[in-house]
């Protein structure tokens, strides 16, 4: 028996796989045809997939959609708003006897029924396969719509057409940022007002110094040293705040020195500026002259407007204790009706309110011009504080362009320094003032003693309270020992004292 070649041993199984035998040829052809048909089907699906710019197209629904569009051409129903039509599937059952049987009659009846009546289904995705179709509409209609044979296109359009307008974009409005705009505006206004108000106060203080504290001015003629320093280049004004400025002068007889304090409006503060618009106030300047101890006699005198004078008489201890309200004399010219004089005696008031002062400041005619700028004048040797003998003048500052209007008021300061320094009481008036001061000193000493006694009693009470608290914390044994010691000390204290003497 002839021997087969080795190559035919492995070729024959392969040929048996690809080349069917006898009756299997038909089955092999059908299988191969089915494979290629499925391959072409998948290729056609991938090629027919809708692009982003084109509307989606689903296989098997074209005929029904075309018929529906023809029947409702005048209607406004959108395809995306309608429920999907029943899906049509093709049977893949094939036999070896021939091609599959078609169901043309059933399909035509179904298409005619669907064109005449479309009934909604419970869910849009019940008949569609999510894996097979893409681009399905996700917005479901709010209410299903039934289209019957008797329905007209107008009724269908009214029932199904709901205008879906896009949400309007939120427009930018300033009303949404009212709080932020107000806060930022307030901060900007506050900063601008701070710098402008600061500059206004500085200009006002410098204007006053230029008028009354420079060369050939009132204070330069009456004091040898002006300013806060000792050198020639020392500043005239000392700024203690944005609205507080001080001026110092010394080197004059009868007094140790003069301190002028300007308290201006808080123009740098926006809230204070608004408050001043509602309740007006004025810029003030206060002159305090510290007199020498031997240059001032027993003098208590005050001149102020009527309302301010009553307040001073109640608040000032020296005025309350030594002075009283003076009635105008009948035999001489006196101060304006708007002013009130508080004095320790008539002699003091008549001697210190001279004719020249009445003509220049306190008289009726003069005070009509200067009354708005004058606040008070207080001369006393019983001031509260370290310096008892002191002269105090309070005036209102005009604006920077009208500083010359207060020249007469400023001239009162050096005038009264000399007048009070030279003034001496009569013996009769001096005896009364001495008696009043002795009485006041005794009352002050009694008050001091009572204050010391109160302090000592308070200290003893605190000490006793501390001892009681310490005893409350002691144990019973410690308390017993302490009582024994206290008893022995009392017994020893009660025994008679025996004096021992040595016999000679």
Give pLDDT tens digits for 424-459: 988 888 888 888 888 888 888 888 899 999 999 999
Q: CA separation (Å) from 353 to 91, 309, 323, 372?
A: 132, 16, 16, 20
Closest listed residue to residue 141, CA positions, set 155, 120, 157, 127: 120
Q: 117-126, 163-172, 396-405, 431-440: lowest mean pLDDT where?
A: 117-126
Give CA–CA dist 118/145, Å, rounded: 9
Provide the b/e sequence for 223-255 (b: ≥16 CB within 10 Å). Answer: beebbeeeeeeeebbbeeebbebbbbbeebebb
Closest listed residue to residue 397, CA positions, set 272, 244, 269, 220: 244
3-state secondary structure of 501: coil
Q: pLDDT tens digits for 77-110? A: 444 444 554 444 444 444 444 444 444 444 444 4
Fill in the DSSP letter of residue 358: I
Q: 273-282, 338-347, 438-447, 470-479: lowest mean pLDDT where?
A: 470-479
Examine the pLDDT at 27 and tell me if it is beyond 80: no
**Is the dihedral angle over the CA atoms 482, 483, 488, 490 positive or is it negative?**
positive
Provide the b/e sequence for 37-53 (b: ≥16 CB within 10 Å). Answer: eeeeeeeeeeeeeeeee
Phi-psi region of 369 (alpha: psi -120 to 50; beta: other; left: phi over 0): alpha
- The backbone torsions φ and ψ at residue 53, rounded to the nearest 5 degrees and listed phi first, read -85, -15
pLDDT at residue 119, as a whole number? 46
pLDDT at residue 216, as a whole number? 87
Closest listed residue to residue 285, CA positions, set 229, 211, 195: 211
Q: Average pLDDT of 150-157? A: 46
Neighbouring C-alpha atoms within 13 Å toward the C-beta of 504: 0
Higher pLDDT, 379 or 57: 379
Share of the chain above pLDDT 70, in %: 65
Provide the b/e sequence for 184-220 (b: ≥16 CB within 10 Å). Answer: eeeeeeeeebeeebeebbbebbebbbebbbeeebebe
**Is the dihedral angle over the CA atoms 121, 124, 125, 127 positive or is it negative?**
positive
Answer yes or no: pTM beyond 0.95.
no
Cα of 92 vs its chain's centroid, Å = 81
Burial category of 341 from C-beta neighbours within 10 Å (exposed 0-12, middle 13-18, buried 19 and up): buried
203: pLDDT confidence band, cut at 50, 70 and 90?
Answer: very high
pLDDT at residue 14, as a whole number? 43
Would you tell me how many other CB atoms lie within 10 Å of the CB of residue 23? 7
Q: CA separation (Å) from 453 to 443, 460, 462?
A: 15, 10, 14
């Amino acid at each position: 028996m002839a021997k087969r070649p080795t190559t035919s041993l492995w070729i024959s199984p392969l040929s048996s796989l690809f080349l069917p035998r006898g009756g299997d040829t038909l089955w092999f052809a059908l299988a191969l045809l089915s494979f290629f048909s499925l391959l072409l089907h998948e290729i056609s699906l991938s090629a027919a997939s809708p692009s982003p710019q084109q509307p989606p197209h689903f296989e098997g629904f074209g005929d029904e959609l075309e018929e529906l569009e023809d029947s409702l051409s005048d209607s406004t129903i959108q395809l995306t708003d309608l429920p999907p039509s029943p899906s049509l599937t093709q049977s893949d059952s094939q036999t070896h006897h021939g091609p599959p049987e078609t169901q043309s009659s059933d399909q035509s009846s179904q298409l005619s029924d669907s064109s005449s009546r479309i009934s909604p289904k419970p869910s849009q995705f019940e008949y569609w396969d999510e894996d097979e179709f893409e681009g399905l509409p996700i917005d479901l209609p709010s209410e299903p719509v039934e289209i019957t044979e008797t329905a007209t296109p107008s009724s269908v359009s009214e029932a199904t057409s709901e205008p879906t307008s896009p949400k309007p974009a939120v427009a930018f409005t300033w009303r949404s940022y009212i709080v932020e705009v107000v806060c930022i505006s307030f901060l900007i206004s506050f900063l601008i007002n701070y710098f402008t108000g600061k500059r206004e106060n500085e200009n006002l203080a410098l204007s006053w110094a230029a008028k009354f504290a420079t060369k050939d001015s009132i204070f330069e003629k009456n004091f040898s040293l002006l300013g806060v320093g000792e050198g020639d280049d020392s500043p005239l004004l000392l700024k203690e705040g944005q609205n507080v400025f001080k001026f110092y002068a010394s080197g004059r007889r009868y007094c140790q020195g003069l301190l002028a304090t300007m308290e201006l409006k808080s123009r740098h503060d926006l809230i204070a500026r608004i408050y001043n618009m509602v309740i007006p106030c004025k810029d003030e300047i206060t002159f305090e002259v510290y007199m020498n101890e031997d240059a001032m006699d027993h003098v208590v005198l005050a001149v102020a407007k009527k309302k301010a004078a009553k307040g001073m008489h109640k608040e000032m201890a020296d005025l309350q204790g030594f002075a009283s309200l003076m009635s105008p004399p009948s035999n001489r010219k006196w101060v304006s009706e708007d002013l009130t004089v508080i004095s320790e005696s008539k002699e003091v008031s008549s001697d210190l309110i001279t004719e020249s002062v009445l003509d220049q400041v306190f008289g009726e005619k003069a005070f009509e011009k200067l009354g708005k700028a004058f606040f008070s004048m207080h001369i006393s040797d019983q001031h509260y504080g370290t310096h008892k003998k002191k002269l105090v003048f309070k005036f209102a500052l005009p604006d920077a362009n009208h500083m010359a209007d207060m020249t007469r008021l400023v001239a009162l300061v050096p005038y009264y320094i000399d007048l009070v320094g030279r003034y001496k009481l009569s013996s009769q008036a001096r005896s009364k003032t001495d008696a009043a001061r002795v009485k006041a000193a005794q009352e002050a000493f009694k008050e001091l003693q009572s204050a010391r006694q109160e302090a000592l009693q308070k200290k003893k009470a605190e000490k006793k309270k501390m001892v009681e608290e310490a005893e409350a914390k002691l144990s019973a044994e410690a308390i017993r020992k302490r009582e024994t010691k206290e008893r022995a000390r009392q017994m020893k204290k009660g025994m008679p004292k025996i004096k021992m003497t040595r016999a000679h």
